[in-house]
Amino acid sequence: MKKNMTEVFSTNLRNALYMAGKTQAELAKAVNVTEVSVSKWMNGVNIPRPNKVDEICRVLRCSREDLMVDHDRQVILAPEDVLAEEMRLREDLYTVFNALINMNDSDLKLVTDLIKRLSI
């Protein structure tokens, strides 16, 4: 089910506020609005005007996209993005990759052949 814009903004604002370690009161003060306004944004009652969205982004150190795009939708990653994420999460893969990119062509071919044989 597709979310409306206020629901998307509400969810993303809650996440951004949490990630920034700020309270609703701190955000209200920083962007010069009432705590009631922030509460309405947080609860999906309404969304701020574009200039306030920019101020919120500045305070929470996030982008407009972070607040305005539905991040719950399924995203299909390119193979290189999947590989990059795996390497980020697994130190052993990162170490192997760094070793491989520094090899000369003949050593790289030897390692590639070995891996192919091990994979059979």
- Over residues 50-69, the pLDDT tens digits come to 899 999 999 999 999 899 88
The predicted model gives 21-42 an average pLDDT of 95
SS (H, E, C) 9-73: HHHHHHHHHHHHCCCHHHHHHHHCCCHHHHHHHHCCCCCCCHHHHHHHHHHHCCCHHHHHCCCCC
Contact 113, 105 (CB under 8 A): no
Residue 111, in any domain of the structure: yes
Are 84 and 54 part of one and the same domain?
no
Residue with tokens 């170490």: 95
* Same domain? 10 vs 37: yes
Its pTM stands at: 0.58
Domain range enclosing 20: 5-68
Spatial CB neighbours of 5, under 8 Å, sequence gap ≥ 6: 47, 68
The answer as to whether 48 is a domain residue is: yes
Per-residue pLDDT tens over the stretch 85-97: 677 777 887 888 8
Taking the C-alpha atoms of residue 45 and residue 94, their distance in angstroms, rounded to an integer, is: 45
93 shares its domain with 63: no
> Phi/psi at 90 (nearest 5 deg)?
-120, 110
